[in-house]
Amino acid sequence: MNKNVPYFIVAPGMILLLFFLMIPLVTSILPTIFTEQGVTLSSYLDFFKDEYNMSIFWRTIRVSLIVTFISILLGIPTAYYIAGVGKKWRGILMAMTLFPLLTNSVIRSFAWINILGKTGVINTLLLKTGLVSQPLNLLYTEFAIIIGSVYLFLPTMIMTLVGVMENIEGEMLEAAETLGASPFTAFRKVVLPLSIPGTIVGSILVFTGTLTAYTTPQLLGGNQKMMMSTFLYQKANTLGDWKAASVLALIMIGVTLIVMKGLDLVAKKVDRREANNA
């Protein structure tokens, strides 16, 4: 087989990425660094000096981390259960997991508005049961963004983990239980370490997805709880400040790369520890 064939296969995709992603990205970011006064990072320094900007930045990081953590807590046991059932039920459960992804994100966000609003399902039930005397402010809060984002990205975490846990041999769990380990201990000592690669990949997808999502933060958080993505949209489309929008874009890219590198280092450290234990 000709060794050049793989290069010809990936060439069209690489060309499309170059012309429609990389070149526009570079041309929008370069003016924030190369100015008439020369090379400067003043735009980025000004961003981090502004308290309002930093409040949005830390809110975005905080919400993204919380959504990722909740997705891990809910995704691991769910994926473990799905991976352990028969093929027929596994297909049904996988379809149910994927079903929310088939619904438009705007529709899903409006559904949560009807649930979390002052006249929504939750407040109506609380008022009728007498648990509260007035409606709770659930909408346009970080809580609303977190709930909507978990609902949005949890299927991604589950699908990633199911693919990993399906490859874990059942005999390993049986061997652990034969040696005296309880089901929970076997799960903690065998399943969790072997599912770390899937957990890391899922965490990257959930974190970056939450970091860059626009529709859910905009509809559930509004301008009161602005995120980096909605802040970028405001700078570009509402205020027409494309330079500030480019600064925000590069900062978001930098955060994503830092998180990816950090999780990669964690994965390598875990692999070394498992190799030493073996």
Pick from 65-74, 239-248, 265-274: least confident: 265-274
* pLDDT on residue 116: 92
Residue 11 falls inside a structural domain: no
Residue 1 lies in a domain: no
End-to-end Cα spacing for the chain: 39
Sign of the CA dihedral with 136 first, then 142, 143, and 147 last: positive
Q: Report yes or no on 75 lying in a domain.
A: yes
Torsion 51-241-226-156 (CA) sign: negative
Q: Tell whether 37 is covered by a domain.
A: no
Query: What is the pLDDT at residue 150?
Result: 95
Domain residues for the domain of 189 are: 48-276
pLDDT range class, residue 274, cuts 50, 70, 90: low
Q: Which structure tokens are listed for 78?
A: 């769910």
Residue 180: inside a domain: yes
Q: pTM (2 decimals)?
A: 0.89
Highest-confidence range of 13-17, 49-53, 100-104, by mean pLDDT?
49-53
Distance of CA 86 to the CA centre of its chain: 29
Share of the chain above pLDDT 70, in %: 96
CA 145 – CA 122 distance, rounded (Å): 16
The verdict on residue 22 lying in a domain is no
Does 165 have pLDDT greater than 90?
no
Name the domain count of the chain.
1
Residue 93 lies in a domain: yes
Beta-carbon contacts of 137 under 8 Å, excluding residues fewer than 6 positions away, are 118
Looking at every residue in the chain, the average pLDDT score rounds to: 87
Q: How far apart are CA 162 and CA 168, in angstroms?
A: 10
Q: What is the CATH number of the domain that holds 270?
A: 1.10.3720.10
pLDDT band at 99 (very low <50, low <70, confident <90, very high): confident
pLDDT at position 5 is 61
The Cβ-side half-sphere exposure at 128, using a 13 Å CA radius, reads 7
Q: Does the pLDDT value for residue 4 go beyond 70?
A: no
Answer whether residue 43 is part of any domain: no
Instruction: Give CA 188 to chain center in angstroms.
Output: 24
